[in-house]
Structure 1
Amino acid sequence: MKVLVLGSGAKDHAIAWWFSKSKFIEGLYVAPSNPGTASFAVNLPDVDPSDKDQVLAACKKYGIDFVFIGTEGPLQTGVIDHLNANGIDTFGAPGYAIKIENDRRFSREFATRHGIPIPDYHIFSDEKALKAFLEKNTGKPFTIKPNGLSPSRVMISSCDTKTLFDYSKKLLAKGDVVVEDYIDGKHATISILLDNEGFFRLPSCYEYTKREHTDKGTGIPTGGMGAVCPLPVEPEIRELIKSRIVMPTFKGLVEENLFYKGILTFSITVTDKGPVLLDYHVRLNDPATQAMVAIIKNDLCGLMMAMKDNTLKDIKRELNGKSAVAVVIASDGYPEDTKVGQKLNEIPPHYMSNAIDNGTLLFFGAVESREDGIYTTGGRAATIVGVDKNIMMANSKAYNAIDLVSFDGSWHRSDIGVKFFENMTGK
């Protein structure tokens, strides 16, 4: 199996690394890639992953027969449909299905039709009406999101009317804005592989999305600053998520002719009254993916072949029995005023390639290689993942290695995973 992974972020690096361990791999390519993927794959830096003709040309040149699409750009430009029409198998949602993510109005109406709990929401296209709504509800916490598909988590949660309105004005310049009640609770990210006959549930994760070093209350959302996997979930909560959100979603997709082979990720908040769906994603989340790949033992090529054959329901999930804590290293000013172009410190080769199984993994994000080193190009430069027999020990592994990636202005949250063991330590 010759595989091409489209993307250059830490999530794409992690997926490519997972593919590299497969017994079915004959060739592995990444476009446009990053400095970390070069150690186990062929980097194709000149291939634009959103250009369907360039991607097809690369497939023909290198004899690639499977393309994994996990980032939002190619999903919007018809890469999947173009490759499928030319006989190349793909992973990712086809064009007809992506509206479950890229049109929040549709996804919320879909959820309502199928009795799936979601926050109360309003959608605005007019600045005047939006301002009047926020002023009428002064002091109430809301989350503001774009209606359309966007990279990472472009949103803000706040109870300050001016903050909410100023952020909304920026989004309105590009399209409609969703204003929904802020839901406080325990977040869960659940990703499920789908085929025509069943599904395969990947390990659940908890993601840290705020810039602030706390998950309590509102704050400045980021693309994700850390993750824990697997998420400790009580059996009764797991059953509520399945019965109230997951299964009604699958039923609705079938009834509305939207079912597809690929990934569906649920962003959920568990409240005192039960689980609430916040968003659907037709791709994997970052940094949940970086934590997840560190503990799952199933062969990724094997899962892709099972999906093609509609036999996912027959695959038993295999985990290594450990926990993973992923910590994102970000650039100065992220997420509002990101400073880029900073040179990273020199990183030992065995960490660059994740060649040594020492309980620490490194996945690169918004960076690029230059003649004299690696430089930042965006907000989230890398993810350090600690892996050990429990969350406390995995947390220690991650933070003990955090200085592997440093540059002028680099920062990270200091609390990733702590809430899951603080009672044990008396904090």
Structure 2
Amino acid sequence: MRVLVLGSGAKDHAIAWWFSQSRLINGLFVAPGNVGTQSIATNLAIDPSDPKQVYEACSTHGIDFVFVGTEAPLFTGVIDYLNERGIDTFGAPSRALKLEGDRNFSRMFTDRHNIPTPTHALFDDEQKLSEYLKRHEGERFVVKSNAIAPSRVMIDSSDYHSLMEFSKNILATSPIILEEHLNGLPITVTLFLDNKGYLALPTSSDYMKAEEGGLPTGGMGSICPVPLQEEVSQALVDTIIEPTLFGLKAERMAYKGVLTISVIITKRGPILVDYHVRFNDPAAQAFVPLIKTDIVDILNAMKHDTLSSITLEASTKSTVALVVASEGYPEKPIIGKDLEPMPASLMLNTFEGAPRYYFGGVQEIEGKLVTTGGRCVTVVGVGYNIMNANKNAYKGVKHVHFEGAWFRKDIGDRFFEN
């Protein structure tokens, strides 16, 4: 199998690395890729969101399978375009995209199938939103764009002016969803789907803010797996996973690909807050190092609708993923900073016990490593438990140096503090 992975982020580097470990591929390409993927695959300088460019690359390089784990190519129709031309793909087709791309539809879907979600309301009018917030002064709400938004951007606040200011920017182009704030543990559930069942990957917990109570980001860290009580795990299956898969079949949206479910474990049980029809970042960087099953074996099972018969082989260890970001991120990241050279063995992720380094906004320009985005490197510590993995992640981050680099200091702490 000759594989093309579409994307350039740390998540895409992690997925490409997973493919690079397979015994069943004889060609690996990434478009457009980054400095991390160029050492394990052939980077292709094409627009991954342009269906014609992707198809031409497949024809030129003899690629017979395209893996789309990131959002942009999904929403420009790459999957359908390639499928119509006989190229196998991994990713959600257009009929399933509204599950992520239209939050109001998603909420109506969950209502129809009795899936627990936060109380919510759709607003497309600034005045009506203002009146509602004034009637509920002092209550804490979450505001999200109704349409797909990069980096899961949202605000979680009880301040009227902050909620209105954030909403005004979105209302210029899209309605907003206003939801109740939920207290609890956020977890990310990642599923491979086929027509007859699913395969669950290790569950993670993501840190989505720049700091505790700070600005929302695309994700600053993750831990995996999450220690959940057996009754909570069963409730996830009974109240969210199984009803979702039933609903997808009943409404003719079932597909072969990945479904990521963002959940908050509350005192009243698991509550779904978002669907994503692709992998999440940094959850993917956290679970990939733990999986021992060949990804191509998984994809072959998906092709033949036998996913539910696979027993996922995963390490008993834990991971802590730590994102190193540029100064000014998430509002106005300062890019173009030189990343100091790292030992080749670390960049190649060749040492079994060493932290893994997955690159995002970093490219090689004129022989130098240069930052090109807000989230630059994800350092993943692996250990015999979360505390040990946390220690290894923070040791590993010392090898990442560029002007203005910053990262959260508390990733994983809540899982082992008294």
Q: In which range does the TM-score fall when normalised by the shorter chain? A: over 0.9
Q: CA deviation at 1:145?
A: 0.6
Tell me what 2:158 maps to: 159
Question: Any idea what the Cα deviations from partners look like across 1:177-235, whole Å, max 9, x if unmatched?
Answer: 111111110011001100011111111001111111x3xxx542211110011111100
Structure 1 counterpart SS, 2:274 = strand
Which of these residues, 387, 391, 405, is aligned with residue 386 of structure 2? 391
Structure 2 equivalent of residue 11 of structure 1: 11
2:346 and 2:354 in contact (8 A); partners too = no
Tell me how far apart the structure 1 counterparts of residues 137 and 362 of structure 2 sit (CA, whole Å): 41
- Partner residue of 1:221 out of 211, 216, 220: 216
How many angstroms apart in 2 are the aligned matches of 1:248 and 1:192? 14
* Distance apart, 1:344 and its partner CA: 1.2
Q: Describe the superposition over 1:68-97 as per-residue Cα deviations: whole angstroms up to 9, x where unpaired.
A: 001111111100000001110000000000
> Which residue does the alignment assign to 1:265?
260
Matched, 1:294 2:289: yes
Q: How far apart, CA to CA, are the structure 1 residues paired with 2:152 and 2:353?
A: 32
Aligned equivalent of 1:60: 59
Matches of 1:359 and 1:196, distance apart in 2: 38
Aligned mates of 1:164, 1:342 — CA distance in 2: 34
Residue 279 of structure 1 corresponds to which residue in structure 2?
Answer: 274
| Contact 1:297/1:319, CA 8 A, preserved across alignment | yes
Q: Do 1:344 and 1:375's aligned partners in 2 also have CA atoms closer than 8 Å?
A: yes
Q: AA paired with 1:348? A: P
SS of aligned partner of 1:401: helix
Partner of 1:38: 38
Equivalent runs, 1:356-395 vs 2, <5 Å: 356-395=351-390
Partner residue, 1:329: 324
Amino acid at match of 1:13: H
User: Does residue 234 of structure 1 match 2:229?
Assistant: yes
* 1:50 and 1:74 in contact (8 A); partners too: yes
TM-superposed CA distance for 1:337, in Å, is: 2.4
How much has 1:25 moved relative to structure 2?
1.0
Q: Give how far 1:372 is off.
A: 4.3
Q: Give the Cα separation in 1 of the matches to 2:188 and 2:42.
A: 31
* Residues 98-109 of structure 1 mapped to structure 2, 5 A cutoff: 98-109=97-108
Where do 1:97-176 residues align within 5 Å? Answer: 97-176=96-175
| Paired-residue identity, % | 51
Gaps of 5+ in 1: none
CA contact (8 A) 1:158 1:219 kept: no
Tell whether the 8 Å contact from 1:99 to 1:106 is kept in structure 2 after alignment.
yes
Displacement of 1:146 in angstroms is: 0.6
2:416 pairs, out of 406, 418, 421, with 421
* Per-residue deviation, residues 22-64 of structure 1 (Å, max 9, x unmatched): 01010000000000111110111x2100000000000000100
1:379 is displaced (CA, Å) by 1.3
Instruction: Please tell me whether the aligned partners of residues 359 and 388 of structure 1 are also in contact (alpha carbons under 8 angstroms).
Output: no
CA offset digits 1:276-309 (Å, max 9, x no partner): 1000000111001001001011100111111011
| Shift, 1:359, TM fit | 2.8
Residue 3 of structure 2 aligns with an amino acid whose one-letter code is: V
One-letter amino acid matched to 2:17: W
TM-score by length of 1: 0.96
- Name whichever of 199-208 and 401-410 sits farther off: 401-410
1:136: Cα distance to partner? Answer: 2.1
2:405 maps to which of 385, 390, 410? 410
CA distance in 1, matches of 2:140, 2:371: 34
1:93 matched to 2:89? The reply is: no
CA separation in 2, counterparts of 1:409 and 1:163?
27
Q: Distance in 1 between matches of 2:79 and 2:25?
A: 21
**Which residue in 1 is equivalent to 2:208?**
209
AA in 2 matched with 1:25: I
**Paired position in structure 1 for 2:82:** 83
**Alignment partner of 1:245 out of 240, 257, 266:** 240
The 10-residue stretch of structure 1 (345-354 or 59-68) with the greater mean CA deviation from structure 2: 345-354
Cα pair 1:156 1:219 within 8 Å, conserved: no
Q: Distance in 2 between matches of 1:139 and 1:342?
A: 42
Aligned-residue CA RMSD in angstroms?
1.0
CA shift, 1:388, in A, is 1.4
Aligned equivalents of 2:401, 2:181: Cα separation in 1: 34
Q: Match of 2:132, as an amino acid?
A: F
Q: CA deviation at 1:375?
A: 1.7
SS in 2 for 1:101: helix
Residues 307-328 of structure 1 show CA distances to partners (whole Å, capped at 9, x for unaligned) of 0111111111111111111000
SS at match of 1:222: strand
Mapped to 2, the partners of 1:161 and 1:379 lie a distance apart of 29
Tell me how far apart the structure 2 counterparts of residues 406 and 148 of structure 1 sit (CA, whole Å): 36
- Equivalents in 2 of 1:373, 1:161: separation in Å? 46
**CA offset digits 1:76-124 (Å, max 9, x no partner):** 1100000001110000000000100000000000000110111111111
Is the contact made by 1:344 and 1:407 (CA closer than 8 Å) also made in structure 2?
yes
CA contact (8 A) 2:360 2:378 kept: yes
Question: Which residue identity is paired with 1:96?
Answer: R
Letter paired with 1:288: A
2:311 is the counterpart of 1:312: no
In 1, distance between residues paired with 2:409 and 2:259? Answer: 30
Distance 1:133 1:372 in 2: 55
